């Protein structure tokens, strides 16, 4: 990434008029203490003491203008009540102190979608089981605080216990280690938490669970690109991400947003999976493209990421998930299970090709 120079930032701020007259923000001398460090920008805006309260929109406009510049990672703009005020503190690299360590876990893989209803959790469960069948030790974290579904899909309903170190012991099903907020609260009880509580809970599900030793921890992210997703991308040492979408245009629009989020936080996208790709009638064998077909493949090609495979819309996948008996675990000989296995092999190949099992937590990039 190319970061802006001091002159670049001054040129941008010079395009903002001084509302009190005297030209623009730079020529009037209002911008002071400009500092830059690896795309992080900080500066002060000097205002008369009597006008400090009404100057907030000006501060916000300056901050927004600089944030829109290519290569800017973060912006800190503060108001000072006289022109000789000291400069703001140097911009700091974000996140380093907030990174979450997950001892004993070699790789962490996020499974994401831009919107709900595309079968992301079903894909995450069967992908984790596919990686297990390939010989890996695998854990599965359900990070959807508001709508946890992993316990139901794995047939789990016990409460986790704690070990001597007061860490939660993940439950096991079909050879997977699993943890979910759904194992800690009643299934019919709504979780009504604001953003900070959600982020704290996700951090605890990573750091306060005795996950290791594992070759890979699969995290089923909630749909969208909100607090929970950004918290994990910002704080966890993710080795890569898989995006799940259905073929129709409306789902692919949101899938592109998910892809953009991972790119901004510098998490490698291993590829896109097209779920509910086609339907084959169990009676006559006729194939129907209910949600169109091939859209995810075309999107992957257009965006320069790999296409990991097609998962059919099949009643057996849904029935096995509802029964807590995922199809890859209980019917591995079926074509539907093999579709998941193909995705698992593709994911593993890409992770091994990257060769970064100890990847550090990614740096957040906004703008």
Pairwise CA distance, residues 302 & 312, whole Å: 23
- Exposure on the CB side of residue 252, measured as CA atoms within 13 A: 19
Give the other-Cβ count within 10 Å of 113's Cβ. 28
Same domain, 108 and 73: no
> Of the candidates 18, 51, 80, which is a domain's last residue?
80
Same domain, 101 and 16: no
Domains: count for the chain = 2
- In tens, the pLDDT along 135-181 reads 999 999 998 877 789 999 999 989 889 899 888 999 999 999 999 98
Same domain, 214 and 107: yes
Same domain, 206 and 241: yes
Q: What is the CATH number of the domain that holds 51?
A: 3.30.300.130
- In tens, the pLDDT along 232-249 reads 787 788 999 999 999 887
Report DSSP state, residue 30: -
Least Cα distance to 83 among 121, 29, 136 occurs for 29
- In tens, the pLDDT along 254-273 reads 888 888 888 888 899 999 99
> Of the candidates 52, 80, 108, which is a domain's last residue?
80
* Beta strands at 240-245 and 269-274: parallel, antiparallel or unpaired: parallel
In the chain, the DSSP E strands lie at 31-37, 40-46, 74-80, 105-112, 138-142, 171-173, 176-180, 214-220, 240-245, 269-274, 279-280, 287-288, 307-310
> Of the candidates 80, 106, 140, which is a domain's last residue?
80
Integer-rounded Cα radius of gyration of the chain: 24
Least Cα distance to 159 among 143, 176, 141, 183 occurs for 183
The answer to the question of residue 176 being in a domain is yes
Q: Are 287 and 330 in contact (CB under 8 A)?
A: no
pLDDT for 131 beyond 60: yes
Q: What is the pTM of this model?
A: 0.69
């Amino acid at each position: 990434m190319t970061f802006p120079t001091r002159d670049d930032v001054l040129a941008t701020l010079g395009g903002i008029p001084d509302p009190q007259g005297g030209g623009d923000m730079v020529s009037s001398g209002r911008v002071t203490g400009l500092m830059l460090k690896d795309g992080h920008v900080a500066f002060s805006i000097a205002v008369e003491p009597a006008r400090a309260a009404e100057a907030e929109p000006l501060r916000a406009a300056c901050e927004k203008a600089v944030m829109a510049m290519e290569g800017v990672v973060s912006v800190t703009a503060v108001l000072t009540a006289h022109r000789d005020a000291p400069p703001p503190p140097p911009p700091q690299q974000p996140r380093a102190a907030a990174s979450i360590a997950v001892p004993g876990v070699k790789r962490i893989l996020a499974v994401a979608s831009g919107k709900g209803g595309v079968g992301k959790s079903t894909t995450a469960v069967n992908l984790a089981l596919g990686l297990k069948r390939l010989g890996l030790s695998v854990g599965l974290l359900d990070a959807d605080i508001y709508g946890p579904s992993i316990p139901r899909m794995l047939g789990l309903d016990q409460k986790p216990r704690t070990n001597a170190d007061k860490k939660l012991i993940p439950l096991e099903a079909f050879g997977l280690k699993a943890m979910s907020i759904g194992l800690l609260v009643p299934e019919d009880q709504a979780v009504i938490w604001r953003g900070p509580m959600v982020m704290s809970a996700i951090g605890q599900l990573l750091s306060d669970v005795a996950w290791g030793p594992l070759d890979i921890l699969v995290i089923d992210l909630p749909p969208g690109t909100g607090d929970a997703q950004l918290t994990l991308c910002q704080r966890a040492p993710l080795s890569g991400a898989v995006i799940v979408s259905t073929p129709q245009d409306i789902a692919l629009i949101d899938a592109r947003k998910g892809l953009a989020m991972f790119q901004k936080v510098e998490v490698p996208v291993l590829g896109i999976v097209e779920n509910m790709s086609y339907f084959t009638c169990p009676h006559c064998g006729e194939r129907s493209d209910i949600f169109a077909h091939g859209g995810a493949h075309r999107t992957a090609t257009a965006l320069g990421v790999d296409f990991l495979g097609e998962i059919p819309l099949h009643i057996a996948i849904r029935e096995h998930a509802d029964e807590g008996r995922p199809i890859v675990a209980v019917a591995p000989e079926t074509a539907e299970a093999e579709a998941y296995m193909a995705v698992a092999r593709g994911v593993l190949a890409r992770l091994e090709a990257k060769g970064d099992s100890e990847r550090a937590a990614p740096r957040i990039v906004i703008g």
